[in-house]
Amino acid sequence: MDREPVIAVENLRAVYGDATILEKVSFQVYGGEIFVILGGSGCGKSTLLKHVIGLLQPPAGRIVINGVDITDADEDARRRVQQTIGVLFQADALFGSLSLFENIALPLKEYTDLSPEIIHRLVSMKLALVNLAGYDNHMPSELSGGMRKRAAIARAMALDPLFLFFDEPWAGLDPVTAAELDILIRSINTAMGTTIVIVTQELASIFSIGQRVIMLDRDARGVIAEGTPRELKEQTRDPRVVNFFNRQAPAENG
Amino acid sequence: MKASSARITVYSLRIEEPEPGDIVVFISGRLSLTEFNSFSSDLRSMLNGRSFHRLTLNLGGITYLDSAGTLALYQLEEEYRERSVPVVLQDASERITGILNLLNRKAHHISPLIPPRKSTHALERIGEATRMMGADFFLVMSFVGKLLTAMLGSFCNPSSIRWREVLFYMKSTGVDGLPIVGLISLLLGLIMAFMSSLQLRQFGAGIYVASLLAMAMVKELGPIMTAIIVAGRSGSAFAAEIGTMIVNDEVNALETMGFEPTRFLAVPKVLASMLVVPLLTIYADLFALLGGLLVGVFGLDLTAHTYIQQTRESIDVSDVFSSLIKAMVFAALIAGIGCQRGFQVRGDAASVGRSTTSAVVSAIFLIIVADSAFAIILHYIG
């Protein structure tokens, strides 16, 4: 694995209205790794993700992606960085009025000068990659939740991004579909070398594919643990981490 | 050979012919989406004009490959295989082999499971539209039945009406609409009075501007204009609100809790609209008459008293009463069709948008139809 940090978050502060959700959050993501941001409901995981992908501007702190400080960059520079990013949103965010082909072809038509035939072949490849070969003309509403997730991954990968961000990719999926998604994410990471950042609270899949994890806590308003999934589960004494990994309510831990 | 792209050259191509007719192309550097076109054309121009019976692509120097780069290699491979020239991909690193294996080179040969949605023949479209209109009519009628039953049930048991909701919708439909209704009515009164004064003044009949405006506004334009504004503001909001609730399964949640969605969601909106739109209509009439008064006083040199007196003589209580009845019926139509279109939403956000548009268009259509019916009925009643 390339040990150069490709994403660096430094002293980030995130607010929601008047409330501070995250304070002095710092972490680094290295090239080609599967990095997991873990935490309970309401700890600010998705807000942190929205800051990292440039949808929200933090009131304090820096976010550097591939050497570009997106908190300080002008609109053009930020757009260029965003073109190297693919995002799978929690609710898949496929455009309901477009077919799967049109959904995936949209960024290719917008940002490249490739011929329609090449775009068709690339879209077919992406659909086959996520096991949806032949679903070109289906509308998102005609697919199951798992299929929509996979189609959204294909769209996120349309421009072969350097970074893939997944917001709760396993939410609402059955265990078999979730395991299939794990295999897909791992194969994309291994073969394409794509750096993958996943925001989640699912434990099973973290152990399956996560290489490094940070854990956020709502009361601490920041990172309370960092390491491999196994290190967090077996070596951390912090009761908040222990409770989370053992699926215990705070009182049960005594 | 360096890539002839205007961009930074990120790949290089070198050709060797170890044996006659056996070509080896050494590819190194980065092969990605941005280099697709330049790479494909560079490689082809390099190979064009050469005669060979075997082509080897040496991938040992490739540092980065994505799906577009892979496609460029696959395309070349296919092209020369069709010409019966075997193509060998050689020296690929483990990562490059991983990418080549991950991406299905024959994906584009897989036929779509369903055909693309093509635009159909005009006649077919007319037929489909007619069928849809018929189906829509039945849906609306069925909803009218449900709504009337729910309204009757609510009137028989007034404590079951969600009065807090009724007050909320009275505020959003009525009070919040006061500024825009007032402004539009005032301007409408000014325009009508001004335009008619230009004609009537020539015959010394400027005083009849007051009569014209009073009759037009109170009998026809007041209720219609108010209803159209309410359709745009509140009818669309009702459709969007209920439609979003459908998308979020909130309506299903209501049903599973034993609530009747029409009674729970539609009755407060319809009732609030029926109570508040007549008041809004009177308010609109007053502002339009004020607009006429301004033209009468400042443009026709009439006194305010004369203008008001002429206005009072032009209309009687029955005109105001019929206008209020009209407004109440229009309100029921606007709120009813807004709710019905909301309940019709299926699937996604685009469906909510369609239902919102349809709520406004259908409401305006129904307002005009109802107004025509009123014109005939009131004529025969005398």
Please determine, for residue B351, whether its predicted confidence score (pLDDT) is greater than 90.
no
A124, A131, A188: best mutation site toward chain B, by most B Cβ within 10 Å?
Answer: A124
The string of pLDDT tens digits covering residues B190-214 is 999 999 999 888 888 888 999 999 9
Count of structural domains, chain A: 1
CB A215 within 8 A of CB A22: no
Instruction: Name, in order, each residue with C-beta under 8 angstroms of B168's C-beta and a sequence gap of 6 or more.
Output: B268, B272
SS3 A179: helix
**Confidence band for B5, pLDDT divided at 50, 70 and 90:** very low
Residue B126, CA distances (Å) to A51, A228, B11, B378 in order: 49, 62, 56, 36
DSSP per position, B307-321: HHHHHHHH--HHHHH
Does A97 map to a domain?
no
Instruction: Report the pLDDT value the prediction gives residue B7, as an integer from 0 to 100.
Output: 42
> For A54-65, what is the mean pLDDT?
92
State the pLDDT at residue A190: 87
- Nearest by CB to residue B102, choosing from A113, A122, A129, is A129
Mean pLDDT of A60-84: 90
CB A141 within 8 A of CB A156: no
Question: Could you tell me the two tokens for B3?
Answer: 């890539």
Question: Between the CA atoms of A157, A160, A161 and A167, what dihedral angle is there, to the nearest 10 degrees?
Answer: 10
Put simply, the answer to whether A96 touches B113 (Cβ < 8 Å) is no
Decide if A47 is inside a domain. yes
Looking at the predicted complex, does its ipTM rise above 0.85? no
Average pLDDT over residues B61-71: 90
B16 sits in which H/E element: strand B11-19
- Confidence at residue A105, expressed as pLDDT on a 0 to 100 scale: 94
- Residue A55 forms part of a structural domain: yes
In percent, the amount of chain A with pLDDT more than 70 equals 97
Domain span holding position A205: 1-84+163-174+195-254
Residue A96 within any structural domain of the chain? no
* Alpha-helical segments (H) within A157-219: 175-192, 203-209
Does residue A149 form part of some domain?
no
Q: How many beta carbons lie within 10 A of that of residue B130, not counting itself?
A: 10
- Say whether residue B6 is in contact with chain A using an 8 A CB cutoff: no
Q: Is residue A234 part of a domain?
A: yes
The model's pTM: 0.73
> Which chain A residues are Cβ-neighbours of B67 within 8 angstroms?
122, 125-126, 129, 157, 160, 192
| CB atoms inside a 10 Å sphere around CB B205 | 14
Closest by Cβ to B102, choosing from A96, A118, A187: A187
Q: Is the predicted pLDDT of residue A1 greater than 70, yes or no?
A: no
Within-domain flag for A101 = no
The conformational region for residue A7 under phi > 0 = left, psi -120 to 50 = alpha, else beta, is: beta
What are the distances in angstroms from CA A25 to CA A225, A240, B304, B350, B360?
Answer: 12, 18, 71, 38, 48
Q: Is the pLDDT of residue A75 over 90?
A: no
CATH of the domain at A199: 3.40.50.300
Which tokens belong to B232?
């745009």
- pLDDT for A192: 86
DSSP lists the bridge partners of residue A165 as: A87, A197
| B70, B114, B348: residue with CB nearest A141 | B348
Give dist(CA B97, CA B92) in Å, integer: 6
Domains in chain B (CATH in brackets) are 11-109 (3.30.750.24), 148-381 (no CATH)
Question: Nearest CA of chain B to the CA of A4: how many Å?
Answer: 16
Q: pLDDT digits over A118-128, tens only?
A: 999 999 999 99
| Residue A207 domain-assigned (yes or no) | yes
